[in-house]
Amino acid sequence: MRKANIIISLILLGFASFYAYLIANLPARDLPNTLGAAFVPWVLAGILAGLSVILLIHSIFAANGNQKVSLPGRELLGITFLLILIASYIKLMEFFGFVTVSIVFLTILTWLAGSRKPVEIAAFSVTTAILVYLLFHKFFQVQLPTGIFF
């Protein structure tokens, strides 16, 4: 936990400096008699930097507790994969259409979530995709991409 906190406070300090850099480059265009567009961001950047320093000092001097916190590579890989999966789902949807891509997406997800029965996966993916499409697109009038298929 101690090591993690030290790294986190350093990352946060970096983030605060990056934010401060962005604030410094904000265009000036302000109304008279009130605080400018940069005021609140500056205050926030200051508070974040201050808190990160406190966390840093606190962690350096804190006893190394027996709580272990880590982000194993397997989990990191898992999240990254999930994000890529969802991103490609959205990208492909615009081209092929919601229902088609959703069936594939749901198949992969159901398999990942532990289902191993092909019939179950297929039946579930197809019905869910069609139901969600009918519900949102037809009933709620949400314009889902229909692409070249559906």
Partner 1 sequence: MDIALAALFDVLQIENILASMAGVFFGLFIGATPGLTISLGMVLLLPLTFALSPVTAFCLLLGLYSSGFTGGSISAILLNIPGTPSAAATAIDGHAMAKNGRAGEAIGTAVTASFFGGMFSLVCLVLIAPTIAKFALRFGAPELCALVLLGLTLICSFGQKSIIKGLISGVIGLIFMTVGLDPMVGTPRFTFGQVQLQAGISFLPALIGLFAIPQVVNGIIAGVRVIPTYHGKVAGVLPKLSNLVKLAKSMLLGACIGTGVGAIPGAGGPIAVFLSYDYISRVSKNKGEFGKGTPEGVAAPESANNGVAGGAMIPMLTLGIPGDPITAILLGALMIQGLTPGPLLFENNGQFVYSVFWAFLVANVLTLILTFATIKLWVRIHQVPSRILLPIITILCIVGSYSLRNTFFDTGVMLFFGVIGYLMNKFRFPIVPLLLAIILGPALEEHLRMSLIISQGSYAIFFTHPISLTFLVIALFSFTLPLVGPLIRKKSAEEDQDIIKKTV
Partner 2 sequence: MMRRTTISAALAIIAALGILGSAFAADYPAKPVQMLIPFGAGGSADSMGRMIAKTAEKHLGQNIVAVNKPGAGGGIMLTALHEAKPDGYTIGWGSTGILTATNIGNVPFKHDVFTHVARVGFSGMPIAVRADAPWNSFEEFVAYAKENPNKIKIGNAGTGSATHLTPIFIEKELGLQFIHVPLGAKRRVPSLLGGEVEAICVPLPEVAGQVQAGKAKVLVIPSAERDPGFPDVPTMKDFGYDVVIELFRGISVPKGTPDAIVAKIEEAFKKGAQDPEFIEFAKKNSFNISFMGMDEFNNYVEPMDTKIAMVMEETGLKKN
DSSP 34-96: S--TTHHHHHHHHHHHHHHHHHHHHHHHS---S------HHHHHHHHHHHHHHHHHHHHHHHH
Q: What contacts 24+ positions apart, CB below 8 Å, involve 117-120?
A: none
- Please select the residue that binds partner 1; options are 3, 24, 30, 149, rule is CB under 8 A: 30
Is there binding between residue 13 and partner 1 (CB under 8 A)? no
Q: Should residue 141 be labelled a site residue for partner 2 when binding is judged by CB under 8 A?
A: yes
Phi-psi region of 4 (alpha: psi -120 to 50; beta: other; left: phi over 0): alpha
User: Per rule CB under 8 A, is residue 148 in the interface with partner 2?
Assistant: yes
**The one among 25, 27, 73, 139 contacting partner 2 by CB under 8 A:** 27
Residue 31 makes contact with partner 2 by CB under 8 A = yes
**Shortest Cβ distance from residue 84 to partner 2 (Å)?**
24
User: Which positions touch partner 2 (CB under 8 A)?
Assistant: 27, 29, 31, 141, 143, 148-149
